[in-house]
């Protein structure tokens, strides 16, 4: 598999003037860094598969993660070539086998997990991510294996952030079947489906799931943990924690 990424030093933030207006009528001219939107087309075997609105950071990871979570590939070995152009506007993907569209999904293999590991990810999220601290305009996603944080990233969209984390695992030959993902965003069916297609057994989120996402997670053996914050979490589906914090009530 051959990978090329030419996109570098694309600015993420732009100092932007605005006028602060208070309820008391006072006005003040100020400036703050504003996150820019970046568009990247993903082309598979010469055909457009998606146009993603993202931030120009970890674009190769984003492309690999998209391919996996949308069911086009199962591993990095399915890709003959992936090239991100100099402006980061296009990722050209050549698959080793003819693309016949997204594959069917299969149940994930459950693993044991500990509440302390999820609380640790919640603590890291609460501590803040760099772009979010400056702009309050990003979602984030963490990739962890047991107690070890392997990767963290940010993006405008929670779907992109999850894809980047999955793509990082693919690029570094990390077994997604032994990992957990922690997302800052809500978990509707498309987010749960991405985790299932990636073969990730544990998906945690700071936010809430939809009813349909809970049903999907249950059907495909995904351990779904939501409202995961510094002092509590809600286990909706999947295996119970293996630590002393387990509560059967």
Tokens standing for 146?
A: 């047991």
Q: How do residues 147-204 score in pLDDT, each as one tens digit?
A: 999 999 999 999 999 999 999 999 999 999 999 999 999 999 999 999 999 999 999 9
pLDDT value of residue 248: 42
Check: CATH 3.40.140.10 for 115-237? Answer: yes
Between the CA of residue 44 and those of 48, 49, 227, what are the distances in Å?
6, 6, 36
**Do residues 38 and 53 lie in contact, with contact meaning Cβ atoms separated by under 8 Å?**
yes
Q: Euclidean distance between the first and final Cα of the chain, in Å?
A: 49
Cα 18 from Cα 204, distance rounded (Å):
36
pTM: predicted TM-score of the whole model, two decimal places: 0.93
């Amino acid at each position: 598999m051959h990978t090329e990424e030419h996109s570098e030093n694309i600015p993420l933030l732009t100092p932007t003037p605005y006028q602060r207006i208070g309820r008391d009528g006072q006005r003040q001219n100020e400036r703050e860094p504003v996150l820019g939107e970046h568009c990247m087309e993903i082309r598979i075997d010469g055909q457009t598969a998606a146009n993603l609105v993202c931030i120009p950071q970890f674009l190769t990871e984003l492309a690999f993660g998209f391919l996996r979570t949308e069911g086009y590939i199962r591993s990095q070995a399915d890709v003959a070539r992936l090239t991100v152009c100099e402006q980061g506007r296009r990722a050209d993907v050549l698959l080793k086998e003819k693309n016949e569209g997204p594959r069917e999904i299969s149940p994930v293999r459950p693993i044991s997990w500990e509440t302390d590991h999820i609380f640790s990810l919640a603590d890291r999220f609460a501590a803040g991510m760099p772009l979010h601290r400056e702009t309050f305009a990003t979602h984030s996603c963490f990739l962890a294996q047991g107690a070890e944080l392997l990767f963290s990233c940010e993006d405008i969209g929670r779907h992109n952030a999850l894809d980047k984390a999955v793509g990082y695992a693919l690029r570094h030959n990390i077994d997604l079947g032994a990992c957990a993902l922690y997302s800052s965003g809500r978990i509707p069916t498309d987010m749960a489906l991405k985790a299932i297609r990636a073969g990730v057994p544990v998906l945690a989120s700071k936010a809430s799931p939809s009813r349909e996402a809970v049903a999907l997670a249950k059907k495909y053996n995904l351990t779904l943990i939501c409202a995961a914050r510094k002092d509590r979490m809600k286990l909706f589906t999947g295996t119970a924690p293996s630590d002393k914090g387990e509560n059967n009530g």
